[in-house]
Chain A
Amino acid sequence: MAKPPSFAPYPRAVNVALAMVIGVAVVGYAVGIRPAQVQAIFPALAVSPSGAIPGQTYLDWRQRRDGPNAVVRSNLGDLRAALPAVSSPVVRTPENKREALETRANIRAYEGAPPTIPHPIDEQNPGSCLACHRDGLVVEGRVARAISHATYTNCTQCHVTMEPRFEKPPAPDNAFVGYRLDRKREQAWQGAPPVIPHSVWMRDRCESCHGVAGLPGLRTTHPERGQCTQCHVSRTEYSPPWAAR
């Protein structure tokens, strides 16, 4: 037997009404603020005397690079690929080692020179380097190595980009031959921990080159051990600044 409608429809109507009110409020709010947003992105489109609306120049996009893209802007963290697991196997071959050393040599003038930057940079914000290079990350197969030293904050003082804004000039003809390290493995006996062949000054984070994201030819076989200098010493002799020469 059909019971007469009790209280139930009434509250439903109230719910619907409330939902509509809230909906209108939300939409109204959104609509209300949209012009402000739109204006922030496309300020005052000037209308020419003919009535035509001028097109936006690329210049406008340049200065609003955070504008229209802000809603779809990706979070770097979401793009970041997972680092290889610490336990992932390391395959070291003479070829990948040579390749790694060549890659390393190609971005610096000589052993000890600051490496150059292989990508364009934000000229106006040198500090932004740290967004990727502070801890290092892997995106789309490209590796941003973690900064291997930390006290220096004016990155572009020493590191300059090889991808300038406009076209690349032909390289000047220069006969300088940069010093390259003798990379002969130095160890006391077969199985002893090899000596670090390079200076460790400003390279106090071994994992930035030798860690899991490092080039295969430079990766350590035991990244799980964090205390590298426990076993590996630099070829460098101990030379405190106060030692008289």
Chain B
Amino acid sequence: MSDPVSRRTFVRSAALGVASAAAMTTIHRSAETAPPVDPRTTMPDLDWQKAPCRFCGTGCHVLVGVKNGKVAAIAGDPEADVNKGLLCVKGYHVGLILYGADRLTKPLLRKNGQLVPIGWDEALDILADRVMKDPKGFAFYGSGQWTIPEGFAAQKFMKGGLGNNHIDPNARLCMASAVTGFLSTYGVDEPAGCYQDLDECNVLILWGNNPAEMHPVLFSRLIDRRSRGDDIRLIDICTRRTRSSLHAQNVLIFKPHTDLAIANGIAHLLLERGTYDKEFVEKHCAFRADSEPRELIGKAISFEEYRKSLEPYTPEHVQEISGVPAKDIRMLADLFGDRSLRITSLWCMGMNQHTQGTAINSLVHGIHLLSGHFGKPGDAPTSLTGQPSACGTVREVGTLSHALPGGREVANDEHRKQAEEFWKLPPGRIQKTPGYHTIKMWEQFCKPTDQGGDIHTIWVQVTNPGQTLPNLNKLFRAKEKLQDKFLVVSDVYPTATTQLADMILPSALWVEKNGMFGNSERRTQQWFRMVKPPGDARDDCWQTIALARRLYDRGHPGMKDKDGNFLFDVRDSNGKPVPVWDFKHYYDVNVDKHLFEEYRLFTRMKHKDLAPYDEYVKARGLRWPVVQQADGSWRETRFRFAEFDDPYVKKGQGIEFYHSTSKDGRAQIWFRPYVPPPESPSKDFPFWLCTGRVLEHWHTGTMTRRVPQLLRAMPEAYVEIHPDDARDAGIHNGDLVKISTRRGSIDVRAWIGGRGSPPRGLLFVPFFDENKLINLVTLEDFDFFSKQTDYKKCAASIARVTS
């Protein structure tokens, strides 16, 4: 009884109960709460326009109020289906990110260690020189913050222009395993359901996910149903308690990496008890396991083989591996075995940043398929994204080293041919061999040229690898000593990446440019430029086109299509070419619209049909496939593969997986064994180290740390540690401690009883703080299929810093 944790937990849950009860008692007032008010009517002297929020993958729409050419207010967009007028604290303050005092306003070149301002002409010449010297050793590194047209331009420039596949995004480190999970299960990427699942489920399972902080608007969308009287069972399967756990009825804390065993344990019980959905499985599913050699689509296995493989995963055995009590594994199996429930699973980085990321993704899809909790509103396995256009740009436009737009692959002859046709390129322009994925790209960049480091120049847009790459000493900092390597960074503020940049290009940010994003529920969104960028800052998309033009002028053959026209030939309504590479003329036409209409050609093959640009101007985003109706209107799709909503499902099928890897309309239920992690705590490094985000800061904090309200609320990185571990190590709250791994060490303060509560043996450090780079110590091992690294677990030690 003296266990402080259990008592504290009790006190906390009692308080929460009181709070919830309090909330419940007030529902009678709130039941009649007025619908969200349109700020355009209350603040009519501002010029209001819609835009998706700049931050996470939720894809809330905001209304941006502009006065005298500056953003002066933000409101949740009452017309937006995603957020219905509500935002989170980052969204409410998104307008402030434009006005940090240290915005980059001029191109800067490092001369003798000093950054000196130069003109755009000189900057583009320097960049063109680097490419012309050796086009094959040039690489482009972007992110899920590229707008769709920006990503499309970068993709076309690299693969269609330079014939060089070394283009990859930071999203490789963010959701590549979600992609391989979807591909190996359904044969096509991205979730089948949508956010409506959150309105209709009665059980929500969080798999290593903390939406209360990371996707707060979605979490509220679910949790607020309780105040309206809905009965929702929330189950948090996690490695540490978070703000999301506080709302959960069941918090199942597992030993890091053992989620595979939990998933297998559920599947095992569904089979053993016969509570799986026999009809669904017989009609719509097939079984798979790893092939030899390992390939993404694996090999077919029989139901019997599947059953046999699962046999060892008894609840007791799973308890032994994972630390989750056998009764809780049975409880999960009870829920999945109950067809009267609507069960939604949510996950994000916990499952994706995992050296078995593809495996755990496919296992969770598998449980939903096996139990038939699929294809009805509220019954869905749903992966969330952390960046505003991880789906729209990276996954759909395919800005990955192996991909082409619309779900195509460079290694596929037919796909390359189609891309060359759409782009009007001479046959053979696009190269067959995939380029370097993120880790390999930076490894080759940070390796001396004479030792085989064949990437000499990297151009970084819209991301901050100097803070987010794992094992920074090896994959980023090592560049500093290599004189012949050249790093170009387009950004809006000085960052950990610009610290080592040889040239910095100032970029336009968010509503300083036109843009389009694609969020986690397949929703493509559009906005217009509302304010001017500061100084000489310019659109990233323009920067790419201007470099292409510079190369065209110097006679690079790849910058012409097969008719001899410039790769980015943009014409006005009279058919006259517009010199968009000259920034004075960039907004003479809508370049976004031009690029988007070209991109649309690619989207039909995988049934990810997009509507014409102008439809997105009118809407608060549309979820693909967007299919034209007999009356000429465009209809979005909420539930894919389900006959009642998806027009591509054949009549009478009910459910049809029309991109099935087994070519028979079936989804694949995978068996994947639990395998131990590449690095586990040991005598010298006795702790697990987990990293992640916090509510107030988005990713590396380059934008949110410039917002006074957000910085003050969360000023610096810290380490969460269990009170008993702290006591054993002589660490007091607020002490400076050193966290070390085999790769390096950093000093942070200990925060006991802070934002989250790790169990004994686990440390948590957020990665937003550029002054405390936790990625100096993280692991660069990656998933075999997706090449995504694991930021959630490595072995670490902790010690008080004595001054």
In the assembled complex, the Cα of A245 lies from the Cα of B38 at a distance in Å of 11
Contact of B27 among A150, A171, A172, A201 (CB under 8 A): A150
| Interface check B75, CB cutoff 8 A | yes
Query: Which single member of A128, A151, A166, A240 contacts B749 (CB below 8 Å)?
Result: A166
Name the B residues within 8 Å of A22 (CB-CB). none
Q: Write out, one digit per residue, whether chain B residues 1-32 have a CB within 8 A of any chain A CB (1) or not (0).
A: 11010011001100110111011001101100
- Stretch of A24-32, A93-101, A111-119, A214-222 at the chain-chain interface: A111-119
A55 within 8 A of B: no
B28: nearest chain-A partner, CB-CB: A150
Residue of A nearest to B67 (CB): A179
**Is A50's CB within 8 Å of the partner chain B?**
no
Q: Is the interface of A mostly helix, strand, loop or mixed?
A: loop
A232 lies within 8 A of chain B by Cβ? no
B223, chain A: closest CB distance, angstroms: 6
Contacts of B30 in A (CB 8 A): 149-151, 204
Cβ of A2 < 8 Å from any Cβ of B? no
In the bound complex, CA of A158 to CA of B726 (Å): 31
Complex CA gap A181/B72 in Å reads: 11
In the complex, how many angstroms separate the beta carbon of A130 from the nearest chain B beta carbon? 5
Q: Is the CB of A157 closer than 8 A to any CB of chain B? A: yes
Interface flag for B733 (CB, 8 Å): yes
At the interface, yes or no: B37 with Cβ under 8 Å from chain A?
A: yes
Chain B residue nearest to A129 in the complex (CB):
B19
CB pair A174 B2 closer than 8 Å? no
A155: nearest chain-B partner, CB-CB: B19
Q: Is the CB of B89 within 8 A of A165?
A: no
Q: B191-231 toward A: CB 8 Å interface, digit per residue (1/0)?
A: 00000000000000000000010001101100110111000
Q: In this complex, what residue of A is CB-closest to B87? A: A158
B227 pairs with A151, CB closer than 8 A: yes
Residue A109 interfacial (CB < 8 Å): yes
What separation, in Å, do the CA atoms of A153 and B36 have in the docked complex? 17
In angstroms, Cα B36 to Cα A202, docked, is 8
Stretch at the interface among A12-20, A59-67, A186-194: A59-67
Kindly list chain B residues whose C-beta atoms are within 8 Å of the C-beta of A157: 88-89, 212, 216-217, 219-220, 695
Check if A151 sits within 8 Å of B102, measured CB to CB.
no
* Interface-facing stretch out of B321-329, B659-667, B710-718: B710-718
Which of B90-98, B170-178, B344-352 lies on the face that meets chain A?
B90-98
B682-704 contacts to A, CB under 8 A, are 695-696
B710 with A149: CB separation less than 8 A: no
Q: How far is the CA of A18 from the CA of B245 in the complex (A)?
A: 53
How many Å from the CB of A183 to the closest CB on chain B? 13
In the complex, B654 has a CB within 8 A of chain A: no
For residue A181, which residues in chain B have a CB less than 8 angstroms away from its CB? 43
**Which one of B541-549, B564-572, B753-761 is at the interface?**
B753-761
- Considering only residues 45-100 of chain B, those with a C-beta below 8 Å from chain A are 45-46, 65, 67, 70-75, 78-79, 85-89, 92-93, 95-96, 98-100
How distant is B770 from chain A, measured CB to nearest CB, in Å? 12
CB pair B75 A112 closer than 8 Å: yes
Contacts of A177 in B (CB 8 A): 70, 72
Which residues of the other chain, B, contact A236 by a CB distance below 8 angstroms?
37-38, 41-42
B88–A168 CB distance below 8 A: no
Q: A127, A130, A152, A239: which has the most chain B beta carbons within 10 Å?
A: A127
Q: Which of A58, A171, A179, A181 has the most CB of B within 10 A?
A: A179
Chain B CB within 8 A of A182 CB = yes
- Complex: A242 Cα to B7 Cα, angstroms: 49
Q: Which chain B residues border A112 with CB–CB below 8 Å?
A: 39, 43, 73-75, 92
Residues of A91-150 contacting chain B, CB below 8 A: 109-114, 116, 123-131, 134, 149-150
Tell me if A162 counts as interface (CB < 8 A to partner B): yes
With known contacts A58-B733, A109-B96, A160–B20 Cβ distance under 8 A: no
In the bound complex, CA of A131 to CA of B17 (Å): 11
B370 close to chain A: CB less than 8 A: no
Contact check, B18 vs A131: say whether CB atoms are below 8 A apart: yes
Pick from B4, B16, B43, B85: contact of A179, CB under 8 Å: B43
Q: How extensive is the interface on chain A, given as a class?
A: 35 or more
Minimal beta-carbon separation of B690 from chain A (angstroms): 17
Taking the closest CB of chain B, its distance from the CB of A204, in whole angstroms, is 6
Are A169 and B715 within 8 A (Cβ)? yes
Query: Does B630 reach chain A (CB closer than 8 Å)?
Result: no
Q: Does B452 contact A (CB under 8 A)?
A: no
**Shortest Cβ distance from residue A196 to the other chain B in the assembled complex, whole angstroms:** 9
Complex interface: chain A residues within 8 A of B12 (CB): 124-125
Task: Give bound CA distance, A171 to B711, whole Å.
Answer: 7
A204 to B43 alpha-carbon distance, docked (Å): 19
Do A240 and B227 have beta carbons less than 8 Å apart?
Answer: no
Residues on B with C-beta less than 8 A from A75 are none
Is B110 an interface position by the 8 A CB rule? no
Choose one: B2, B20, B72, B79; the contact of A43 (CB below 8 Å): B2
Contact yes or no, B15 A128, CB < 8 A: yes
Given contacts A109-B92, A165-B754, A240-B35, is CB(A173)–CB(B78) below 8 Å? Answer: no
B216 with A179: CB separation less than 8 A: no
Question: A39 at interface (Cβ–Cβ under 8 A)?
Answer: yes
Q: How large is the interface on B (under 10, 10 to 19, 20 to 34, 35 or more residues)?
A: 35 or more
Name which of B65, B696, B708, B731 has the most chain A CB atoms within 10 A of its CB. Answer: B708
Q: Are A241 and B78 in contact (CB under 8 A)?
A: yes
A:190-215 near B, CB below 8 Å: 198-202, 204-205
Q: How far is the CB of B31 from chain A (nearest CB, A)?
A: 8
Whole-angstrom distance from the CB of A122 to the nearest CB of chain B? 9
Are the C-beta atoms of B43 and A161 separated by less than 8 Å? no
Say yes or no: A110 contacts B73, CB within 8 Å.
Answer: yes
Which residues from chain A contact B45 at a C-beta distance below 8 Å?
182
At the interface, yes or no: A237 with Cβ under 8 Å from chain B?
Answer: yes
The verdict on A6 contacting chain B, using a C-beta distance below 8 Å, is: no
B75's closest neighbor in chain A, by CB?
A: A112
Which residues from A are CB-within-8-Å of B723? 59, 62-63
Q: Are B713 and A172 in contact (CB under 8 A)?
A: no
Residues of B within 8 A of A48 (CB): none
A172 to B696, CA, bound (A): 15
B713/A130 in contact, CB under 8 A: no
- Contact at A241–B79, with CB atoms within 8 Å? yes
User: How far is A123 from B70 in the complex, measured between Cα atoms in Å?
Assistant: 35
Q: Is B33 an interface residue (CB 8 A)?
A: yes
State whether B757 touches A124 (Cβ < 8 A).
Answer: yes
Determine if B219 and A154 form an interchain contact, defined as CB atoms under 8 angstroms apart: yes
Closest Cβ of chain A to B284, distance in Å, is 36
Q: Contact check, A128 vs B27: say whether CB atoms are below 8 A apart.
A: no
B460 within 8 A of A: no
User: Which residue of the partner chain B has the closest CB to A201?
Assistant: B37
* B278 lies within 8 A of chain A by Cβ: no
| Residues of chain A within 8 A of B716, CB atoms compared | 166, 169
Which residues of chain A are within 8 angstroms of B87 by Cβ–Cβ distance? Answer: 158
Cβ-defined partner of B712 (8 Å) among A64, A156, A162: A162
- Is A233 in contact with chain B by the CB < 8 A criterion? no
For A238, give the chain B residue with the smallest CB separation. B41
C-alpha gap A35/B707 in the complex (Å): 52
Determine if B108 is an interface residue (Cβ-Cβ < 8 Å).
Answer: no
| A168 B715 Cβ-Cβ under 8 A | yes
A62-B752, A154-B223 as given contacts; A39 in contact with B727, CB under 8 Å: no
Q: Which of B714-768 contact A (CB under 8 A)?
A: 714-716, 718, 723, 726-727, 731-734, 749, 751-757
On chain B, the residues within 8 Å of A169 by CB distance are: 711-712, 715-716
Q: Contact at A172–B708, with CB atoms within 8 Å?
A: yes
A131 touches B15 (CB 8 A): yes
Q: Does A79 interact with chain B (Cβ within 8 Å)?
A: no
Output the least CB separation between A109 and chain B (Å): 6
Contact A154 B220 (CB under 8 A): yes
Bound-complex Cα distance A40 to B243 (A): 27
A-B contact pairs, 11 of them (CB 8 A): A36-B1, A110-B74, A112-B43, A152-B227, A160-B709, A168-B712, A171-B708, A179-B72, A201-B85, A235-B41, A236-B42
What 5 A-B pairs are tightest by C-beta distance, nearest first? A127-B19, A173-B101, A160-B713, A179-B73, A179-B72
